[in-house]
């Protein structure tokens, strides 16, 4: 990940520059490798860089075209950049090998439609000096965090940033930039460019299930996300989603290692920090096929939990089965509690579910970055796509099941994507999410939802499990141990150890009095916390952010169940399943 801060049409941009640089510095944790800024007319673009692709040469941003009439600041990765370079309509002089630079010629050729051609995760601000025009866009699902702000004292100015902490000192109103949209300063309007076939939640799809297509599309999605010139790894909780991502990544790593050894002899070189170093780059080549030139000879995997946690035990079993170089991290309840205020500062939310799950992820990310890893694959999105949360047991029919899946995917930018992005970016680590690939979403979201429904015979995410089940083919190499492939869903905040959530509730009970619950802050309006834990988090949020930032927060709540606690463990089906086991 990188960090962006920009302002279009500031009345005194030169005088504002020191403030802009200070505000940009607030997200330097996202991009600790280099900083850059450009001023033109009344617009300023600032960038904090995390170098993943184009490390050796000048991939520093903001990027410009040959005559420097276009200025671009990007946060993200464009996986099909080589394909775009090949199929541009007009010749373009590229200054760098950066995957993000292709956005400039796409804009010159397609204008506001440029984001439609991008395959990746991104948010960007582009300034056209000749037209005095700023456009900004965010990836289709909102994997990268992005915000837009306004100031009452400067109504004609528009601000953009990767995180709230850049905007609230200068903005009176802040909104989460909608995923799949592009903003144009010429009209001061947003336009939705992402228009997939599954977008209308009231239109129930009926595409027959094809397990082979489902499996191969996810495999392709994982492989393209190995595009990197730096050490990478996988977050491995031991649950189905992260284990499948790890299994696919490991298969690709072993395939490339074998190919390298056949071609060059030995494929392994040791770094001083003990991590194996490979050569080359993974991405989509000129013929729209996956091509690999860089890899790590041994895949690193990471898990975290309280001592004896379900996730660490399962993750270790998966790692041993796959042969990854696994790193187990344990944390104490006290360490988690001590980190809460910092976690909320980086997350910029007071949602209970997000904070519970983000704290272990935040602690793990620090350890991963300290080891020299700069990019990890993660399993976010699967539960939304396939109805994997335990509350989906209560879906009354396939129509409502599908509606909830679409709603969840559309809101990922306010929940799991926000958690994954900010928990890792807090330490200059980038998280990539294969399940949210555009092509995979097109396949998986159009499957007849009757195939996804949970029954007595079919556990949650049955079709995803079945797509990677090789038990019917004795000659096939299994992707995962059977007990992992069919392991019941554990929400991350549960799987790190049940004592974690229990301790949060207990501490909140001691910290927040009944009198405080009866007298919430007037400025909270109708957004009143309904538990002491939620109240506690809101108070910590208020220590870091003004009330104007609260409009960007969404509370994660399950459907079809009557409960205030969003934990999967609080749903009756969780205990029933284990009692039946």
Q: What CATH class does 211-384+412-440+483-580 carry? A: alpha beta
Q: How far apart are CA 306 and CA 309, in angstroms?
A: 5
Q: Which residues pair with 48 in a beta bridge?
A: 3, 35
Q: How far apart are CA 362 and CA 315, in angstroms?
A: 18
pLDDT tens-place string over residues 91-118: 999 999 899 999 999 999 999 999 999 9
User: Tell me, what's the pLDDT at 267?
Assistant: 45
Dihedral sign from CA coordinates of 382, 467, 497, 425: negative
The CATH 3.60.20.10 domain(s) of the chain lie at: 3-192
List CB contacts of 507: < 8 A, sequence separation 6 or more: 337, 536
The torsion angles phi and psi of 410, rounded to 5 degrees, stand at -65, -30
User: Tell me, what's the pLDDT at 490?
Assistant: 59
Q: Give the full edge-to-edge strand order of the sheet including 70-78.
A: 63-64, 70-78, 120-128, 133-138, 181-184, 189-192
Two tokens, residue 395: 């879906």
Q: Are 8 and 43 spatial neighbours (Cβ–Cβ below 8 Å)?
A: yes
Residue with tokens 């059977």: 482
Two tokens, residue 226: 């190995």
Q: How far apart are CA 81 and CA 284, in angstroms?
A: 8
The string of DSSP letters for 499-556 reads HHHHHHHHHHHHHS-HHHHHS--GGGTT---SSHHHHHHHHHHHHHS-GGGGGG----
The CATH 3.40.50.620 domain(s) of the chain lie at: 211-384+412-440+483-580
List CB contacts of 459: < 8 A, sequence separation 6 or more: 465, 486, 488
User: Tell me, what's the pLDDT at 573?
Assistant: 59
User: Tell me, what's the pLDDT at 57?
Assistant: 55
Q: How far apart are CA 326 and CA 320, in angstroms?
A: 8
**What residues are designated binding site for ATP?**
235, 304, 378-379
CA angle 213, 395, 454 (to 5 degrees): 50
Sort 473 into a burial class: Cβ within 10 Å, 0-12 / 13-18 / 19+. exposed
Out of 2.40.50.1020, 3.40.720.10, 3.30.70.20, 3.60.20.10, the CATH code matching 3-192 is: 3.60.20.10
Answer yes or no: 7 catalytic: no
Q: Which residues pair with 282 in a beta bridge?
A: 292
The string of DSSP letters for 134-151 reads EEEEE-SS--S--EEEEE
Residue with tokens 């990471």: 302
User: Tell me, what's the pLDDT at 310?
Assistant: 86
User: Tell me, what's the pLDDT at 580?
Assistant: 39
Q: Which residue in 2, 46, 166, 171 is the catalytic one?
A: 2
List CB contacts of 391: < 8 A, sequence separation 6 or more: 558, 559, 560, 561, 568, 571
pLDDT tens-place string over residues 197-223: 999 999 999 999 999 999 999 999 999
Model-level pTM?
0.92
Average pLDDT for runs of 10 along the chain of length 581: 95 97 97 93 95 62 96 96 95 93 98 98 98 98 98 97 98 98 98 98 97 98 89 92 97 83 57 43 50 63 93 94 96 97 98 96 96 95 96 96 98 97 97 98 98 95 98 94 85 68 96 98 96 98 97 94 68 49 35
User: Tell me, what's the pLDDT at 571?
Assistant: 55
């Amino acid at each position: 990940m990188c960090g962006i801060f920009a302002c279009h049409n500031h009345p005194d941009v030169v005088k504002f520059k020191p403030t802009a640089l200070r505000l940009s510095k607030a997200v330097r944790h996202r991009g600790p490798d280099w900083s850059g800024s450009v001023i033109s007319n009344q617009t300023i673009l600032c960038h904090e860089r995390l170098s993943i692709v184009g490390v050796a040469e000048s991939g520093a941003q903001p990027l410009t075209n040959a005559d420097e009439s276009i200025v671009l600041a990007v946060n993200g990765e464009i996986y099909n950049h080589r394909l775009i370079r090949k199929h541009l309509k007009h010749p373009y002089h590229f200054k760098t090998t950066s995957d993000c630079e292709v956005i400039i010629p796409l804009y010159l050729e397609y204008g506001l439609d440029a984001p439609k051609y991008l395959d990746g995760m991104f948010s960007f601000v582009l300034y056209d000096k000749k037209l005095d025009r700023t456009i900004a866009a965010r990836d289709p699902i909102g994997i990268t965090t992005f915000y837009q702000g306004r100031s009452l004292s400067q109504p004609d100015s528009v601000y953009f940033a990767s995180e709230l902490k850049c905007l609230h000192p200068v903005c009176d109103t802040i909104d989460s930039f909608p995923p799949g949209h592009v903003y144009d300063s010429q009209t001061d309007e947003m336009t939705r460019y992402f228009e997939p076939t599954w977008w209308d939640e009231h239109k129930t799809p009926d595409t027959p299930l094809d397990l082979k297509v489902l499996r191969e599309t996810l495999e392709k999605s994982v492989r393209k996300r190995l595009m990197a010139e730096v050490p990478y790894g996988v977050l491995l909780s031991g649950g189905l989603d992260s284990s499948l991502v790890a299994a696919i990544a490991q298969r690709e790593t072993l395939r490339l290692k074998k190919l390298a050894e056949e071609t060059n002899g030995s494929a392994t070189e040791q770094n001083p920090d003990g991590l194996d170093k490979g050569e080359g780059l993974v991405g989509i080549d000129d013929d729209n096929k996956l091509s690999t030139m860089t890899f790590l000879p041994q895949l690193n995997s990471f898990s975290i939990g309280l001592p004896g946690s379900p996730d660490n035990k399962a993750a270790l079993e998966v790692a041993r089965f796959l042969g990854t170089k696994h790193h187990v991290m344990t944390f104490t309840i006290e360490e988690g509690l001590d980190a809460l205020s910092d976690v909320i500062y980086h997350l910029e939310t007071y949602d209970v579910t997000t904070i519970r799950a983000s704290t272990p992820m935040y602690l793990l990310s620090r350890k991963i970055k300290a080891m020299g890893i700069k990019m990890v694959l993660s399993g976010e999105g699967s539960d939304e796509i396939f109805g994997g949360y335990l509350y989906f047991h209560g879906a009354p029919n396939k129509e409502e099941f599908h509606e909830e899946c679409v709603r969840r995917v559309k809101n990922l930018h306010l929940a799991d994507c926000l958690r994954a992005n900010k928990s890792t970016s807090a330490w200059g680590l980038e998280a990539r999410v294969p399940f949210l690939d555009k092509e995979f979403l097109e396949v998986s979201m159009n499957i007849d939802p009757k195939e996804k429904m949970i029954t007595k015979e079919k556990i949650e995410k049955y079709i995803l499990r079945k797509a990677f089940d090789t038990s019917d083919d004795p000659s096939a190499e299994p992707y995962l141990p059977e007990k992992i492939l069919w392991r019941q869903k554990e929400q991350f905040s549960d799987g790190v150890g049940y004592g974690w959530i229990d301790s949060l509730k207990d501490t909140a009970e001691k910290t927040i009095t009944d009198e405080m619950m009866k007298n919430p802050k007037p400025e909270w309006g109708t957004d009143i916390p309904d538990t002491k834990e939620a109240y506690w988090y809101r108070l910590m949020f208020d220590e870091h952010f003004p009330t104007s930032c609260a409009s960007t927060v969404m509370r994660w709540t399950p459907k079809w169940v009557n409960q205030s606690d969003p934990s999967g463990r609080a749903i009756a089906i969780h205990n029933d399943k284990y009692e039946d086991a």
